[in-house]
Structure 1
């Protein structure tokens, strides 16, 4: 792949990964609407790994606490902030891993990479985010995150494997429905992305090694680096804006794009 193509893919991924507008949906739409070569799932996951590095860096203080708590969590003791965070992130990640395996083994993941699916998910889940964000209570903060809430958000996150849903969008929707304020809902969604993207990155490594394709591995590394920079900038901007701006601008974008895609798909 050309450097320009990799750059375009990485920028799209970096900007859209943490905004509730579906990065995977945009990556699928790129070849469908422009005629460019389909970058394939290996590059898709590579740019997700780039965004993983960005979110780890941005939330390093929390990540460091969670990492330090893993040994204690594995020993069965959930009595420190670090072990509690590690445990809750594990609980929130299990549903998406199980659902992802089902989609992979059945081949449904490839069948859902169409404009019609993305159009409907963009539209419907965008409207759902708006409804929940406007009506949801704000009586919970990050410190109130519980095992029950982590599991519920994890189940919602699994739905994001349907292209166009948006992993960050659906987990933010779940958090707002549970009563978390906008900023903390987004923060929890971002922290939940770390183990999820890490699992995808592990799959990428296995696939690259299995294919023994050095060129593909190099392309993935370049795309990941570009995505890291774009994601860090986009994440910093969104988290700052959430103190004064709702999710409505993202919903408007989703609705407009969803209508356009459905028009294209059915005409």
Structure 2
């Protein structure tokens, strides 16, 4: 992998990981258009590390008291500060763990078909638009165990490439009446264990392999993914507060149609 490819793949990963537009669809589309070889599992792990560092850095002031309050609530057996939000993140992560164990094989095979990705990109984009019409005024701190479980169950659908992990969790949160920026913030907080688990699972798959490591390309990918993701989180929250989710719905539909145009004819031949 050359450094130019590493730069662009890192940039695409960083920009699309937290936007509701599906990073997997973009990572399939870009190499297809430019004729690049598959970047490999090890590089995917590397850029996930970059995006994880970005979300940790963005929420660093909130994560320390959030973690402390959640741990204290276990010791004291009562709600402490933001422990309710902490437990919502824990509960919301549980369905993803179970779903990954059941659907991992399908996600790596049949679900990665281009037309499946196109259908998911369009279908879940329309669902995001419908859910945005249910937007209310609830905060992420109003999420109870049942709502957290619902959002977490929706997150399992992100195993289907093209769905978008951030998109489906925001869709579920909006459906429950959260305000748009609150839905986005909870989605980003929920991404921390999700990205860590996904990266850890991919790293375990690499154990025992003898694939060569291009450390310079990895460093570029991690750095670009991390910086672009960090900037994207703040910009997205500001944009959603002003214009809502509609621009991302339009973009998803357009992207899905491009994927159909690229791959439907190829399969027909």
TM-score by length of 1: 0.91
Evaluate the alpha carbon distance shift between residue 44 and residue 74 of structure 1 in structure 2; reply closer, same or farther with a 3 A threshold: farther
Per-residue CA deviation, residues 203-242 of structure 1 (Å, 9 max, x unaligned), is 2333344325461566444422220011111111111112
Q: Which residue of 2 aligns with 1:131?
A: 130
How far residue 202 of structure 1 moved from its aligned partner, in angstroms, is 1.8
The one of 247, 251, 256 equivalent to 1:249 is 247
CA distance in structure 2 between the aligned counterparts of 1:23 and 1:231, rounded to whole angstroms: 12
Aligned position for 2:188: 190
Structure 1 unpaired stretches of 5+: none
SS state of the match for residue 37, structure 2?
coil
CA distance in 2, matches of 1:194, 1:78: 24
Paired residue secondary structure (2:31): helix
1:74 offset after TM fit, Å?
Answer: 5.2
Q: How does 1:169-188 map to 2 (within 5 A)?
A: 169-188=167-186
1:33 & 1:165 partners in 2: Cα distance? 21
Question: Is the contact made by 1:69 and 1:85 (CA closer than 8 Å) also made in structure 2?
Answer: no
Q: C-alpha distance in 2, partners of 1:206/1:78?
A: 37
Whether contact under 8 Å (1:29, 1:115) holds in the other structure is: no
Q: Quick one: distance in 2 between partners of 1:226 and 1:155?
A: 31
Aligned equivalents of 1:218, 1:212: Cα separation in 2? 18
TM-superposed CA distance for 1:26, in Å, is: 1.1
| Deviation (angstroms), 1:70 | 4.8
* Structure 1 runs of 4+ with >6 Å offset: none
Unpaired runs of 5+ residues, structure 2, are none
One of 137, 140, 144 as aligned partner of 2:138: 140
* Map of 2:12 onto structure 1: 12
CA distance in 1, matches of 2:204, 2:214: 13
Distance 2:125 2:51 in 1: 22
Shift, 1:246, TM fit: 1.1
Match of 2:48 in 1: 48
> CA-atom RMSD, angstroms?
2.0
**TM superposition shift of 1:50:** 0.8
Tell me the secondary structure at the aligned position of residue 241 of structure 2: coil
Show the counterpart of 1:38: 38
2:257 pairs, out of 256, 259, 267, with: 259
Tell me whether 170-179 or 64-73 shows the greater mean CA deviation.
64-73
Q: Which residue pairs with 1:100 in the alignment?
A: 100
The 1-side partners of 2:109 and 2:200 are apart by 19
CA contact 1:73–1:86 (8 Å) conserved in 2: no
Whole-Å separation in 2 of the counterparts to 1:78 and 1:221: 44
Cα deviation code 1:51-73 (max 9, x no counterpart): 11111111112211232235335
Instruction: State the Cα deviation string for residues 103-142 of structure 1 (Å, max 9, x = none).
Output: 22x3442322222011101111111111111x20413112
